[in-house]
């Protein structure tokens, strides 16, 4: 019997009532009396020197309050980078400045040059057009390998080159890896591109700065996944505002997919200008601006080599990746191609020797940072493509080759630093074979072929490191912040509960799932529990939501705080029933004395805590409110196996995804419906990356070619099939109290390789000698590949 409440129940998402009826409160819904509006004049060239900037005519335009340029920010800090990577030679990465408004040079199309604050958005835009900016165009650096060539133009004049870092992992293993390749019975090599993506959350970014002269307090309302991270970065590094004078509010947020983790120039600008002008300043991004100012994702160019022995055991793996950083270092950009990528290169396999080399490169493009999966999709894509290619070269079944090399004993120390605590990769593969009806594929292929279509089946596994992260470990790896999370459980007098959490919900359903956990622990109704998030003045200092961490890290903090509540409530109950605390049991919202029929209800205990007339005041404080911080001892390792079945029209090259199946091990599940929804969304994004999405720059001019939905293809409902998803193969996480692993990114991480594997399978079944097609596999690309 499925449960109808508590852990394991598919409780309906309570937040959907407001989202689906237009009653949400998004940042753009907030309007503060007296607010002015900012419009950013953005560079329309990829690379140039600012020769002169004349704002006098613009300043005289109707409604203009003030025009700011880079000069106004000379005494202000630049946007900080939150992660320092150390290169192969022990040197810190190159870390260029990132001014709020361009100083001296513009470095990508969309780089903000000036900001016009006016009485209305239209007046601000009109005046921005009247700014006379003389920009001497410089050669644009777009292609990564060209950017590293001798004599290439430099994105940052004060750096020695366009190289951010040359990272080797594990550097000490390099010699052993090379030796293993020399001895290999078979080596499979593959070069591939992980295409640049634009996150495209439904809600574009918005920021409102507000300043209270009476108290000296600044407030930033912003579309963020992590208000405390923004408070920390902006307050401490950019504007120098102490925490108690800076409030950051991220109200309802319409999707982030990573792109709303980072601290952006527009946030710092609005906060700064609100104080300078003593009035609220609002910015609402247009979709066009989003394309050229939201951090992009992926953009890796890789070569991967897999060595096998004569029995098809993986003996070594070697990769070389060029990772695009864009023009500046976005908040967590350096960590993505390194620690979030290299550490996952073992995948689900017991390859004993691995060496990963990553060259991070500056180019005249929008900064690139974490996007759903962040580094782990890039690792999975390379690995699962090269394994598929190896299976074809060796003429063995790709599923059997994977099974043969699976890690089967846990905990497993990989050669790339991390320790998988638990997992069962054969179980998810068994489940996949069942739900994907792999046995029935041959018949389906025959049916497609009878209609003149090619049909292909592609399979892959994935593993990810989630629940980011043990603070001491990531500190050693270069993180400049802790990665714990926090929750405060505030029980009210009548027994209802507000839980203030550091995680932020922007589509994940925390407002529904988190209460399920507390309700389960206390045995009370979910509807008595409310989640509060997103406002730094209301919640404890948590690090926000990304890396599939909310339930694993913040949920664990919530469990710990609830345990403290239970302990204290038992003391109160013991007092009320004149019993020993050790004999008190809590079940279904009733405290009882073991072995007796004495009991008091949850509400009696909570009332006693706040109306302490009959209360052990000499032993415990009144009230019932507890906070816990939780810092995990390891990452969590969700893993699974995915299968994609495509049909290819051999005449046009068009690929149709006919079936997609996902068998995931997410450990314990709190709300299966929400988990399925997260997987569905991730699969949509992964299929989008594989077939449709392509953020492209003109290699000569650096103009963004896919700058709107006319050219940037988002997946639509009819681009994806009905999914078969299963998360019944659960090996609970061994080190967090809920045994949960996180499910937010799996779909996006696990799906692109199987789509590509399926297309290659289809083409080869049609007699085409195609071994690889870069994503997105547009009809034109597939057809061109088929022409040989």
- Name the phi and psi angles at 211, rounded to 5: -135, 125
- Choose between 127 and 503: whose C-beta lies nearer to other proteins: 127
Longest dimension (CA), the chain: 86
- Choose between 628 and 777: whose C-beta lies nearer to other proteins: 777
- Choose between 284 and 319: whose C-beta lies nearer to other proteins: 284
Strand (E) positions, 464-534?
A: 485-491, 497-501, 529-532
- Choose between 129 and 183: whose C-beta lies nearer to other proteins: 129
Omega cis (within 30) before 170: yes
- Choose between 253 and 646: whose C-beta lies nearer to other proteins: 646
Orientation of helix 746-765 relative to helix 672-691, angle to 10°: 50
- Tell me the β-bridge partners of 38: 117
Task: For the CB of residue 717, give the shortest distance to other proteins in the complex, in Å.
Answer: 12
Task: For the CB of residue 661, give the shortest distance to other proteins in the complex, in Å.
Answer: 24
Q: Considering Cα of 341, then 695, then 282, then 506, what sign does the dihedral take?
A: negative
Task: For the CB of residue 168, give the shortest distance to other proteins in the complex, in Å.
Answer: 35
Orientation of helix 376-394 relative to helix 746-765, angle to 10°: 30
DSSP per-residue letters across 540-552: -----S-TT-III
Task: For the CB of residue 785, give the shortest distance to other proteins in the complex, in Å.
Answer: 11
- Tell me the β-bridge partners of 489: 499, 626
- Choose between 230 and 704: whose C-beta lies nearer to other proteins: 704
Query: Is 695:195 a contact under the CB 8 Å cutoff?
Result: yes
- Choose between 397 and 651: whose C-beta lies nearer to other proteins: 651
The DSSP 8-state label assigned to residue 235 in this structure reads: I
Task: For the CB of residue 779, give the shortest distance to other proteins in the complex, in Å.
Answer: 7
Task: For the CB of residue 411, give the shortest distance to other proteins in the complex, in Å.
Answer: 44
Strand-strand pairing, 723-726 and 655-665: parallel
User: Where do runs of H (alpha helix) occur along 184-264?
Assistant: 227-233
- Choose between 558 and 785: whose C-beta lies nearer to other proteins: 785
Q: What are the residues binding other proteins (CB under 8 A)?
A: 125, 129, 288, 651-654, 691-692, 694, 696, 705-706, 709-714, 778-780, 783-784, 787
- Choose between 304 and 782: whose C-beta lies nearer to other proteins: 782
Task: For the CB of residue 37, give the shortest distance to other proteins in the complex, in Å.
Answer: 16
Task: For the CB of residue 366, give the shortest distance to other proteins in the complex, in Å.
Answer: 17
Among candidates 697, 526, 661, 722, which has minimal Cα distance to 144?
697
Task: For the CB of residue 223, give the shortest distance to other proteins in the complex, in Å.
Answer: 22
CA-CA distance, 307 to 771, in Å (whole number)? 18
Q: Which residues contact 633 (CB under 8 A, 6 or more apart)?
A: 470, 735
CA-CA distance, 468 to 477, in Å (whole number)? 13
Among candidates 514, 550, 506, which has minimal Cα distance to 25?
506
Task: For the CB of residue 781, give the shortest distance to other proteins in the complex, in Å.
Answer: 9
- Choose between 727 and 781: whose C-beta lies nearer to other proteins: 781
Query: Is 301:143 a contact under the CB 8 Å cutoff?
Result: no
3-state secondary structure of 654: coil
Torsion angle, alpha carbons of 245, 247, 248, 249, to 10: -170
User: Where do runs of H (alpha helix) occur along 67-183?
Assistant: 121-129, 144-147, 174-183
Task: For the CB of residue 112, give the shortest distance to other proteins in the complex, in Å.
Answer: 18
């Amino acid at each position: 019997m499925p449960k109808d409440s508590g852990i394991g129940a598919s409780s309906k998402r309570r937040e959907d009532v407001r989202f689906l009826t237009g009653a949400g409160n998004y940042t753009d819904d907030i309007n503060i009396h007296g607010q002015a509006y900012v419009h950013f004049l953005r560079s329309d060239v990829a690379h140039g020197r600012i020769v002169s900037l004349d704002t006098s005519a613009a300043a005289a335009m109707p409604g203009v309050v003030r025009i700011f340029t880079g000069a106004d920010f000379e005494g202000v800090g630049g946007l900080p980078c939150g992660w320092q990577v150390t290169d192969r030679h022990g040197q810190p990465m190159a870390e260029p400045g990132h001014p709020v408004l361009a100083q001296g040079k513009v470095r990508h199309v969309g780089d903000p040059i000036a900001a016009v604050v006016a009485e209305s958005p239209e007046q601000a835009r009109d005046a921005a057009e009247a700014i006379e900016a003389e920009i001497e165009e410089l050669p644009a650096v777009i292609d990564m390998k060209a950017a590293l060539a001798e004599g290439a133009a430099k994105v940052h004049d004060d750096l020695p080159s366009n190289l951010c870092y040359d990272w080797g992992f594990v550097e000490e293993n390099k010699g052993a890896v090379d030796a293993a390749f020399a001895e290999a019975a078979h080596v499979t090599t593959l070069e591939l591109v992980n295409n640049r993506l634009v996150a495209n959350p439904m809600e574009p970014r918005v920021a409102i700065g507000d300043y209270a002269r009476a108290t000296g307090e600044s407030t930033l309302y912003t579309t963020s996944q992590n208000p405390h991270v923004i408070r920390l970065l902006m307050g401490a590094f950019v504007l120098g505002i102490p925490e108690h004078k800076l409030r950051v509010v991220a109200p309802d947020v319409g999707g982030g997919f990573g792109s709303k983790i980072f601290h952006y120039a527009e946030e710092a600008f609005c906060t700064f200008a609100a104080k300078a002008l003593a009035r609220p300043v609002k910015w609402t991004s247009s979709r066009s601006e989003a394309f050229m100012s939201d951090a992009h994702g992926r953009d890796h160019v890789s070569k991967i080599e897999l060595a096998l022995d004569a029995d098809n055991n993986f003996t070594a793996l070697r990769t070389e990746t060029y990772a695009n950083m864009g023009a500046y270092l976005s908040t967590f950009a350096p960590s993505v191609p390194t620690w979030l990528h290299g550490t996952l290169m073992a995948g689900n396999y017991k390859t004993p020797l691995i060496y990963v080399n990553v060259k991070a490169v500056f180019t005249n493009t929008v900064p690139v940072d974490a996007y759903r999966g962040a580094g782990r999709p890039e690792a999975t894509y390379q690995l699962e493509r090269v394994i598929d290619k190896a299976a074809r070269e060796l003429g063995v079944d790709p599923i059997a080759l994977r099974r043969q090399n699976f890690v089967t004993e846990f905990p497993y120390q990989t050669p790339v630093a991390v320790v998988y605590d638990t997992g069962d990769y054969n179980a998810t593969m068994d489940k996949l074979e069942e739900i994907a009806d792999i046995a029935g594929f041959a018949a389906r292929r025959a049916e497609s072929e009878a209609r003149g279509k090619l049909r292909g089946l592609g399979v892959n596994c994935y593993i990810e490191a989630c629940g980011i992260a043990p603070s001491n470990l990531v500190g050693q790896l270069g993180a400049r912040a802790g990665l714990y999370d926090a929750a405060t459980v505030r029980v009210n007098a009548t027994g209802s509960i507000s839980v203030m959490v550091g995680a932020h919900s922007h589509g994940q359903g925390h407002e529904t799932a988190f209460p399920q956990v507390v309700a389960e622990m206390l045995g009370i109704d979910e509807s008595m529990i409310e989640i509060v998030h997103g406002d730094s003045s209301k919640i404890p200092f948590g690090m926000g939501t990304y890396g599939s961490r909310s339930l694993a890290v913040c949920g664990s903090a919530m469990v710990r705080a609830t345990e403290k509540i239970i302990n204290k409530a038992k003391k109160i109950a013991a007092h009320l029933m004149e019993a020993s605390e050790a004999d008190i049991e809590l079940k279904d919202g009733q405290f009882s004395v073991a072995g007796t029929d004495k009991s008091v209800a949850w509400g009696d205990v909570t009332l006693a805590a706040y109306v302490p007339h009959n209360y052990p005041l000499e032993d415990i404080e009144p009230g019932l409110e507890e906070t816990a911080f939780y810092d995990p001892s390891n990452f969590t390792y969700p893993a699974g196996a995915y299968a994609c079945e495509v049909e290819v029209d051999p005449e046009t090259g068009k690929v149709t995804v006919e079936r997609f199946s996902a068998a995931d091990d997410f450990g314990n599940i709190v709300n299966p419906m929400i988990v399925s929804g997260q997987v569905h969304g991730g699969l949509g994004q992964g299929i989008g990356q594989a077939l449709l999405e392509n953020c492209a720059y003109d290699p000569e001019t650096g103009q963004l070619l896919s700058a709107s939905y006319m050219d940037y293809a988002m997946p639509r409902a009819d681009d994806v099939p009905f999914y078969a998803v299963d998360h019944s193969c659960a090996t609970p996480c061994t080190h967090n109290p809920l045994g949960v692993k996180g499910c937010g990114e799996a779909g996006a991480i696990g799906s692109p390789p199987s789509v590509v594997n399926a297309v290659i399978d289809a083409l080869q079944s049609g007699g085409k000698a195609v071994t690889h097609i870069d994503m997105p596999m547009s009809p034109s690309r597939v057809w061109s590949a088929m022409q040989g």
